[in-house]
Amino acid sequence: MVVTRFAPSPTGYLHIGGLRTALYSYLWAKRNSGKFLFRIEDTDLARNSKEAADAIVEAFKWVGLAHEGEIVYQSERFDLYKSYVKKLLEEGKAYKCYMSREELDALREAQSARKERPHYDGRYRDFTGTPPLGVEPVIRIKAPMSGVISFVDGIKGEVNFNASDMLDDFIIARSDGTPTYNFVVVIDDALMGVNEVIRGDDHLSNTPKQIILYEALGFDIPKFYHVPMILNPEGKKLSKRDGAVDVMEYKREGYLPEALLNFLIRLGWSHGDQEIFSFDEMKALFDPSNINKSASAYNQEKLVWLNAHYIKQATYTRLIEELRFFDLDLSLHSKKELLIDALRDRAKTLVEFASLAKQILEAPMCYDEKAVEKFLTVDGISVLAQYLVALKSEKTLLMASEFETFTKAFLEERGLKLKDLAQAIRIAMVGSSVSPSIFEVLEIIGYDEVVERIEKLISYKRS
Catalytic residue among 240, 370, 374, 395: 240
Q: From the CB of residue 418, how many other CB atoms can be counted at a distance below 10 Å?
A: 14
Q: Sheet of 35-40: strands edge to edge? A: 3-6, 35-40, 72-73
Sort strands 35-40 and 72-73 into parallel, antiparallel or unpaired: parallel
Quick check: 41 and 71 in contact, CB under 8 A? Answer: no
Close Cβ partners of 58 (under 8 Å, ≥ 6 residues apart):
248
Residue 79 burial class via C-beta count within 10 angstroms: exposed 0-12, middle 13-18, buried 19 and up? exposed
Distance between CA atoms of residues 246 and 15, nearest Å: 5
Q: 414 to each of 352, 410, 417, 418, 422, how far by Cα in Å?
A: 38, 7, 9, 11, 15
Q: 91 to each of 10, 88, 277, how far by Cα in Å?
A: 33, 5, 51
Helix (H) / strand (E) containing 223: strand 223-227
Q: 134 to each of 97, 175, 301, 311, how far by Cα in Å?
A: 13, 12, 60, 65
- CA 65, distance to chain mean position in Å, is 12
Sort strands 138-141 and 72-73 into parallel, antiparallel or unpaired: unpaired
Give long-range contacts, CB 8 A cutoff, 24+ apart: 321-324: 322/256, 322/350, 323/350, 323/353, 323/354, 323/357
Nearest to 145 by CA among 123, 126, 122: 122
Residue 456 burial class via C-beta count within 10 angstroms: exposed 0-12, middle 13-18, buried 19 and up? middle
Is residue 240 flagged as an active site residue? yes
Helix, coil or strand: residue 91? coil
Distance between CA atoms of residues 389 and 385, nearest Å: 6
Distance between CA atoms of residues 267 and 295, nearest Å: 9
In 253-311 the beta strands, taken as DSSP E runs, fall at 296-297
List the catalytic residues: 240
